[in-house]
Amino acid sequence: MPGPRERPATDEGGSRWSLSPAVTAAAIVATVCLVAAFVMSRLELVLVAAPLLLAAVIGWSSRPETAASRSSVAIVGDDTDGRVRVDAVAEAEGRVDGVHVRIRRSDREPEDAVVTPGFARRLRLRVAVSHSGPQRILVIAARGIGPDAAWVGDPGRPAVAERVVRPKAQRVRSLPLPARLLGLTGGHDSTRPGDGGEFRDIDRFRPGDRLRRIDWKATARLAQRPGELYVRRTTATSDAAVQLVVDARDDVPGAVAGWAAPYPRPGATSLDLAREAAFSLAEAYAGASDRVGFDDLSDARRALPPRAGARHLSRVLRAVELTTAHGAATERARAPRLAQGAVVYVMSTFLDEQATRLALTWRAAGHRVVVVDVLPPRSVDELAARERLALRIVDLERGLRLDRLRAAGAELLVWSSPDRDAVLRRLETPRRRP
């Protein structure tokens, strides 16, 4: 797992203090009471205003000289339960009684805490990481609180701890292949004759055949005249071109009520499943000496053509790790170009038309297309009646898109399904028959 990118920060120009609302309210109430006492000739209002006015004056006179605050975070390790251990430091210069710390985590709303200056210098946090990809593990901002909380300083620049969390690779035992293998070398048996594959047939010796392939037993059995020789022919081995296409324009969780929430909820999201699927398939195909490419529908600049080799595999895996939701459904003017005879994996939720349109275009061009449904198992417990009705309409539109893909010859794979391995075996079997 790559290391974090830490950004300890200091508020370089933060020397401004602000009166707390309590001191301001005390001064306003004291002024109102004094005016009312003068107008109404009521001595008891003066007794009420005097301590408030005295507190406001004392608070005003206790203004600290500096208000510089700084914070820093550092990821020190990982726990076995999926949590990250973080050391944080929050400091405020000057004569302060406390430090106001605001903590933002990746999967929940900001949390505020007021701690002593000594405790703020040795914060120890354990943050749960439930998603893969680039994310902000922790964001901490601090500001000083003056004596008696009469003054508060401006918050310093927040410190950010970021990490790229690698998806967990699943073991893929079956690999669907293209209808025709066009590569010259590899680990799969093709339909053309050559060296390195399984037995094909027995045929007469022709110019170009190697002498070591002569089958003397077949020659003794089949030869009709002197000098006639028979050779044992095998199939050639070849590699496959695989293009992994991830639809990273949106990222939806399993709880439908959280589709529009500002903070992601715990649990796998659609982009978590897409990263996991792309990561697992890339490692499996590369392990079979196939050429693997990557494309992100939300950013055409991240496309990688299918190639072989450990170095290219590292680039593909890194591109998968860095895939993140862009939040905008940008349309491609034209379909990305693919290698000839490639098998295409389109990983999407299919909640809109673009992924469907591109998959149909690639299928019409003769590519074998496997559409990978990465929508997580959904929960509708928190939806109102009209929201459930809207979800039914979305489901009908999504079902029609998947039906169009199947009718065009694309094959469906639900990544979160418990029958995923069985579906992959079924997709692999017909393509291995000669």
Q: What kind of architecture, by CATH, is found in domain 241-432?
A: 3-Layer(aba) Sandwich (3.40)
CB 313 within 8 A of CB 156: no
User: CA 237 to CA 21: how far, in whole Å?
Assistant: 78
Q: Which helix (H) or strand (E) holds 277?
A: helix 270-287
For residue 377, the 8-state DSSP code is P
Q: Which of 349, 368, 172, 355 is nearest to 274 (CA)?
A: 349
- pTM of this structure: 0.74
Cβ proximity of 142 and 99 under 8 Å: yes
Q: Which two tokens stand for residue 384?
A: 């109102």
Q: Which residues pair with 77 in a beta bridge?
A: 85
Fold exhibited by the domain 5-16+67-164? Immunoglobulin-like (2.60.40)
Phi, then psi, of 234 in degrees rounded to 5 = -125, 165
First-to-last CA distance in the chain? Answer: 42
What per-residue string of b and e applies to 29-50 under the rule 16 or more CB within 10 Å gives b? ebeebbeebeeeeeeebeebbe
Hey, CA dihedral for 47, 48, 53, 54, is it positive or negative? Answer: positive
In tens digits, what is the pLDDT along the chain, a chain of 434 residues?
444 444 443 334 345 777 778 788 888 888 888 888 888 888 888 888 888 888 778 777 777 766 567 777 777 777 666 788 888 888 777 677 888 888 888 777 788 888 888 888 888 888 888 888 888 888 888 888 877 777 787 777 888 888 888 898 899 988 888 776 655 555 555 555 555 555 566 667 778 777 777 767 777 777 777 878 877 776 556 678 899 999 988 888 888 877 776 666 677 889 999 999 999 999 999 888 888 999 998 887 888 988 888 999 999 999 999 998 876 555 666 667 777 778 999 999 998 888 899 999 999 988 999 999 999 988 888 788 888 898 899 999 999 999 999 999 999 999 999 999 999 999 887 544 43
Q: Where are the beta strands (DSSP E) in 340-418?
A: 343-348, 368-373, 411-414
Ranges of each domain in the chain: 5-16+67-164, 21-61, 190-238, 241-432
CA dist., res. 76 & res. 163, Å (int): 12
Cβ atoms of residues 247 and 347 within 8 Å = yes
pLDDT of 409 reads 92
How big, in percent rounded to 5, are the helix, strand and coil portions of the chain? 30, 30, 40
A 10 A CB-CB count for 215 gives 17
What ranges in 96-190 are assigned the alpha helix state H? 117-120
Q: How many CB atoms lie within 10 A of CB 352?
A: 17
d(CA 82, CA 107): 14
CB 355 within 8 A of CB 370: no
Backbone angles phi, psi at 164, to 5 degrees: -100, 110
